């Protein structure tokens, strides 16, 4: 059964000079989760933040930290992000030699495990993983930068994964990240998404606009 839609603002689009304040502001504005994009300049063509920053902003909210690791190799850093305060850790199958082992490690640390599918990664990647994840993240842009345009072809993948999840009978989140705004959000939701990552669409207009921005995305339902 599909769950209600959760909004996870990506702090990649926040003002990094006042990151703690930004996290408090989106919490107050109604964010369900705080999405943290971690990039290494190797697996993706950009560099963002590490465990120390996650640990530094953890005291600023009690909302779940949804940490997306775009790093390779990913396994050596799982424990550090878990210790820093991540609640959900999502990883790419391409970022390590043994994705199943990686997912097992995340769960062994008491965290929710997630697998991320890039635009070119087929949903069949989930064939032998679906019972070991709490979240599936579909990238509707190529990972590495914020502000990209939504790739329409990913809607078919979202629909296919929705069917896979429903067939399990488990409460697995289906999250979509990339180019999410007031126009694309309802399309992703209609295809089966129940969690949306939004950076630019959440943080545009400054703190006074965050609540309206989040309400507009949620109103897409």
Q: Please indicate if the annotation marks 20 as binding a ligand.
A: no
What pLDDT is attached to residue 15?
Answer: 97
Out of 32, 37, 66, 123, the active site residue is 37
Out of 40, 123, 134, 177, the active site residue is 177
What pLDDT is attached to residue 108?
Answer: 98
Our answer to whether residue 212 is catalytic in this structure is no
What pLDDT is attached to residue 103?
Answer: 98
Q: Please indicate if the annotation marks 145 as binding a ligand.
A: yes
Do 91 and 116 touch, CB atoms closer than 8 A? yes
Q: Please indicate if the annotation marks 144 as binding a ligand.
A: yes
Cα–Cα distance measured from residue 54 to residue 197, given in angstroms and rounded to the nearest whole number: 17
Q: Please indicate if the annotation marks 147 as binding a ligand.
A: yes
What pLDDT is attached to residue 3?
Answer: 61
**10-residue stretch averages of pLDDT, the chain, 221 residues long:** 83 97 98 98 94 98 98 98 98 96 98 98 96 97 84 97 96 96 96 96 97 89 47
Q: Please indicate if the annotation marks 150 as binding a ligand.
A: no
What pLDDT is attached to residue 145?
Answer: 76
Q: Please indicate if the annotation marks 179 as binding a ligand.
A: yes
Our answer to whether residue 181 is catalytic in this structure is no
- Put simply, whether the predicted model's pTM sits higher than 0.85 gets the answer yes
Cα 168 to its chain centre, rounded Å, is 21
Q: Please indicate if the annotation marks 169 as binding a ligand.
A: no
Do 188 and 155 touch, CB atoms closer than 8 A? yes
List of domains in the chain = 6-218 (3.20.20.70)
């Amino acid at each position: 059964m599909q769950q209600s839609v959760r909004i996870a603002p990506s702090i990649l689009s926040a003002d990094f000079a006042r990151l703690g304040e930004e996290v408090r502001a989106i919490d107050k504005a109604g964010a369900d989760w705080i999405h943290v994009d971690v990039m290494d300049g190797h697996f993706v063509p950009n560099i963002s933040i590490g465990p120390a920053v996650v640990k530094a902003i953890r005291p600023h909210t009690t909302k779940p930290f949804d940490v997306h690791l775009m790093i390779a190799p990913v396994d050596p850093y799982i424990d550090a992000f878990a210790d820093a305060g991540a609640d959900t850790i999502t990883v790419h199958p391409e970022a390590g030699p043994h994705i199943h082992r990686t997912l097992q490690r995340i769960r062994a640390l008491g965290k929710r495990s997630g697998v991320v599918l890039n635009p070119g990664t087929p949903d069949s990647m989930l064939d032998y993983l679906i019972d070991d994840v709490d979240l599936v993240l579909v990238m509707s842009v190529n990972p590495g930068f914020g502000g990209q345009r939504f790739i329409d072809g990913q809607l078919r993948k979202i629909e296919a994964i929705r069917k896979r999840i429903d067939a399990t009978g488990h409460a697995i989140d289906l999250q979509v990240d990339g180019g999410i705004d007031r126009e694309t959000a309802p399309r992703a939701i209609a295809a089966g998404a129940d969690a949306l990552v939004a950076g630019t669409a959440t943080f545009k207009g400054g703190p006074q606009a965050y609540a309206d921005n989040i309400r507009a995305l949620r109103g897409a339902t």
